[in-house]
Chain A
C-alpha cells in the first residue's frame, strides 16, 4: 500500500538528495537513540527522582518524580540495572563517535554549509510565519527549489545535531565520576552532577519530541519517497501543490 504520491511518480525528476555519510549516520544514530532511550528509562527507574545542584538523594528536594517506566518501554524489559547500563554505555560510544563522524564528513562534503546553513534572510520578512503556514497546509518544499530544506527543517536539524545530541553526550560525561576528575569544567558548566542528570533527562525528552514530530512529518510528506531517499539517497520531487 503505497501512498499516491509515490505510487505514480510519472516523469517527476528524481534527485540525489542524501549523501552516504548522512544516510549512514542517520540509521546508526536512529538505532543508538532507540537503545539509549530504552536503557535510559531502566536506569531512571533505579532512582526516578531528579534534582538540581551538586547532590541529591532520597531526603533531598527533587524537582521531578518521574513515573515508573513500564517494561514495554525499557531495555531490558525486566528490570536489570547492570544490563541496562551495558546497553547504555556501549551505545553511548556509538552515539558520540558517530556524531563526530557526521560533523567531519558534513564539513568535508559541505552538507552543513549547503543544506543546514541558516541565513539572515531566513528570519526576515515573515519567512518563519510563511513557513509555519505552509507546514499547516502540509506543503514542505519550495516549488522553486524543492531540494532545499525549509527553515523549520534547518532549525530543527541544527537544534538536534548541534544542541541536543552534544548536550546528551556532555551531560552524560558530566555524570561520570571518572570524567569529573579529568574534565571538572563540565561539572561547572552544568551546575553539578545532579543538574547534569536533570538536563540529560530534559534533552532526552527533547529528542523524543523531535522524533515524534520527525516521524509524523515523514508520514505526511510521503513515507515511501522519504524513507527511500534515506536508504538510497534518491528522492523524487513531489509535484507542486501536492505533498
Chain B
C-alpha cells in the first residue's frame, strides 16, 4: 500500500467536502441565474432551437406511431380539468350538447358553425396513439374524429394564417383555457378533433364533446372542451402572447414536441 500522510488525507477530505459544498452553491446559483432576464432569454431559446431542429429532421407529414388494439392502456387516466364545472358547460352536458356549436373563424373565407351531428357526419379518422404527459407518464388510447385540416378547408383558411387557436369551455381565472399550434401541426394528417375515444362518445373527463389530438406533441397541447377554432396570423394579442394557458401562466414550452 502506498503511504499517505495524515495531512494529505485531511486535505483530501476537505477537498471532497469542499466539492460537495461547491455543488450546493452551484445548484442555488442556477436558480439565481434563471431569474436574470438575459440568461432567461438564453435558457428559453432552447425551445426555439429544438423546434427548428425537429422541423428540420422530421418530415412535416411524418406520422406519430400508431398501436395495435391489444397495446391500448387498460385505463386512460383523466388529467388537468376533469369537468369545466361552469353553469354553461353544465347546461350543455344536460342538453347532451344539442345546442353546442363549434365555431370556426379568424383568417378564413367562410366563418362556419358546426353542430355535433354535423361534425360527426364529416369523414373521420381513427387512430390508436400514445398520449405523453409532460410529467412523464404515457397512455395509449383510440381516438376518432375529423381531421383539423378538413375543418379548416371547410371554412377556407387563408394563406396568411400561421397558427390555429383553440378556445375551450373550461375557465381559468375567469378566462377560457386556450392553446395554439402552428400550421404544420394543424394540417398534419393525424391532427384531429376527436369526438370519440376507445369506441365510445367522448366523456366529460376526457374533454366532451370534442378535444384536439395533436399527436406529435405532449399532452397539455391536446386541448379539451374545444368551443372555437380560429386561424390567426400570430400569437401576440392572445392571452399573454406565449401561445397557451400554461405557456402564459407557468412558462411551459409552446413547442411541446420534446
Binding site for B on A (CB under 8 A): 1-4, 34-35, 38, 43-44, 46-47, 49, 54-60, 72-78, 80-83, 85-87, 89-93, 137-139, 173, 175-184, 187, 193-194, 197, 215-216, 219-220, 223, 241-243
B134 and A176 contacting across the interface, CB-CB below 8 Å:
no
Which chain B residue shows the least CB distance to A139? B2
Please measure, in the bound complex, the distance between the C-alpha atom of A161 and the C-alpha atom of B195, giving whole angstroms.
Answer: 48
Q: Does B136 contact A (CB under 8 A)?
A: yes
A182 and B58 contacting across the interface, CB-CB below 8 Å:
yes
A187 and B65 contacting across the interface, CB-CB below 8 Å:
yes
Q: Does B90 contact A (CB under 8 A)?
A: no
Shortest C-beta distance, B30 to chain A (Å), equals 5
Which chain B residue shows the least CB distance to A227? B15
Q: Which of these binds chain A: B5-13, B110-118, B166-174, B196-204?
A: B5-13
A177 and B2 contacting across the interface, CB-CB below 8 Å:
no
Please measure, in the bound complex, the distance between the C-alpha atom of A35 and the C-alpha atom of B12, giving whole angstroms.
Answer: 25
Contacts of B37 in A (CB 8 A): none
Q: Does B95 contact A (CB under 8 A)?
A: no
Q: Does B122 contact A (CB under 8 A)?
A: no
A55 and B139 contacting across the interface, CB-CB below 8 Å:
yes
In the assembled complex, 18 residue pairs joining A and B whose CB atoms fall closer than 8 Å, in A order, are: A2-B11, A4-B5, A4-B7, A47-B133, A47-B135, A54-B138, A55-B130, A57-B76, A59-B77, A72-B27, A77-B31, A81-B134, A86-B253, A87-B43, A93-B46, A180-B64, A219-B12, A243-B2
Please measure, in the bound complex, the distance between the C-alpha atom of A73 and the C-alpha atom of B250, giving whole angstroms.
Answer: 22
Please measure, in the bound complex, the distance between the C-alpha atom of A93 and the C-alpha atom of B196, giving whole angstroms.
Answer: 38
Please measure, in the bound complex, the distance between the C-alpha atom of A223 and the C-alpha atom of B136, giving whole angstroms.
Answer: 39
Binding site for A on B (CB under 8 A): 1-2, 4-5, 7-8, 11-12, 14-16, 19, 23-24, 26-28, 30-31, 34, 42-47, 49-50, 54, 57-59, 62-65, 67, 71, 73-77, 130, 132-140, 215-218, 246, 250-253, 256-258
Secondary structure of the A side of the interface? helix
Contacts of A139 in B (CB 8 A): 2
Please measure, in the bound complex, the distance between the C-alpha atom of A141 and the C-alpha atom of B40, giving whole angstroms.
Answer: 45
Please measure, in the bound complex, the distance between the C-alpha atom of A176 and the C-alpha atom of B8, giving whole angstroms.
Answer: 48
B58 and A179 contacting across the interface, CB-CB below 8 Å:
yes
Please measure, in the bound complex, the distance between the C-alpha atom of A80 and the C-alpha atom of B136, giving whole angstroms.
Answer: 14
Contacts of B27 in A (CB 8 A): 38, 72-75, 77
Known: A3-B11, A55-B140, A219-B15. A181 touches B216 (CB 8 A): yes
Contacts of A3 in B (CB 8 A): 8, 11-12
Please measure, in the bound complex, the distance between the C-alpha atom of A107 and the C-alpha atom of B59, giving whole angstroms.
Answer: 31
B31 and A47 contacting across the interface, CB-CB below 8 Å:
no
Known: A82-B251, A86-B253, A178-B216. A60 touches B34 (CB 8 A): no
B57 and A182 contacting across the interface, CB-CB below 8 Å:
yes
Q: Choose from B46, B54, B65, B138 the contact partner of A90 (Cβ within 8 Å).
A: B46
Which chain A residue shows the least CB distance to B3? A242
A56 and B253 contacting across the interface, CB-CB below 8 Å:
no
B28 and A138 contacting across the interface, CB-CB below 8 Å:
no
Please measure, in the bound complex, the distance between the C-alpha atom of A89 and the C-alpha atom of B45, giving whole angstroms.
Answer: 10
B30 and A35 contacting across the interface, CB-CB below 8 Å:
yes
Q: Choose from B45, B49, B64, B133 the contact partner of A181 (Cβ within 8 Å).
A: B64
B59 and A182 contacting across the interface, CB-CB below 8 Å:
yes
Contacts of B258 in A (CB 8 A): 89, 173, 175-179
Please measure, in the bound complex, the distance between the C-alpha atom of A242 and the C-alpha atom of B58, giving whole angstroms.
Answer: 55
Shortest C-beta distance, B221 to chain A (Å), equals 9
Shortest C-beta distance, A43 to chain B (Å), equals 7
Please measure, in the bound complex, the distance between the C-alpha atom of A137 and the C-alpha atom of B3, giving whole angstroms.
Answer: 9
Residue of A44, A56, A181 contacting most chain B CB atoms (<10 Å): A181
Q: Choose from A35, A180, A215 the contact partner of B19 (Cβ within 8 Å).
A: A215
